[in-house]
Structure 1
Amino acid sequence: MEIKMFYRTQRDVAVAINQLVDAYWKEKIIEQKLIESIKDIHKNNQKKLLKDNEFTKVVQQQCGKRRLVIVERILEMK
């Protein structure tokens, strides 16, 4: 599964997150790949993912609560 480093829109970021988490749930990627990919997306697309320390509205609407709980826990990891 190929993930870009830089995305053009918030919707593109949300689609990438959905693909990653869904692939993990279907056991197509391992946990470490999920963690690394989410951290890379966050590092390179912070303004498209978070605003005022919360996920942007577009990301919230596109990803849903269950996926964002996973993303939030990954981002809290050191």
Structure 2
Amino acid sequence: MEIKSFYKNQRELAEALSRVIDKYWCSEILENEMIDSIKRIVENNETKVFTNTSGEFTTVLRQQCGKKRLEVVSKILDRKD
């Protein structure tokens, strides 16, 4: 699966995160591939993912991705590998 590392806006970023998680939920990619993709996307686009002050997901991401997908992203980012 080919996923870009850098996105020009929050909407494209949200679509990419949603696509990766949905592919995992549909068993189209393995868990490790999903985890690596999400980590790489968030790491390279941190200013588009989190608000400056509180470290919460931006409004656009919350609206576009939804609660369940962002729970997955949070759990992946909180893991201590």
TM-score band, normalised by shorter chain: over 0.9
% of aligned pairs identical? 49
Give yes or no for the alignment of 1:33 onto 2:33. yes
Question: C-alpha offsets along residues 1-58 of structure 1, whole Å, 9 cap, x if unaligned?
Answer: 2110100000011000110000000000000000000000111000001113100000
How far apart, in 1, do the equivalents of 2:44 and 2:72 lie? 19
- In the TM superposition, 1:45-60 aligns within 5 A as 45-51=45-51, 52-60=54-62
Amino acid at match of 2:25: W
List 4+ stretches of structure 1 deviating above 3 A.
Answer: none
Structure 2: unaligned runs, 5 residues or longer: none
Between structures 1 and 2, the one with greater strand share: 1
Q: 2: distance between equivalents of 1:64 and 1:6? A: 21
- TM superposition score normalised by structure 1: 0.97
Map 1:57-72; keep pairs closer than 5 Å. Answer: 57-72=59-74
The residue number in structure 1 matching 2:43 is 43
TM-score, with structure 2 as normaliser:
0.93
AA at the equivalent of 1:39: K
State the aligned residue count.
78
Secondary structure of the residue that 1:54 maps to in structure 2? coil
Shift of 1:77: 0.9
Structure 1: runs of 5 or more not aligned? none
Q: CA RMSD in A?
A: 0.6
Question: Paired residue for 1:75?
Answer: 77
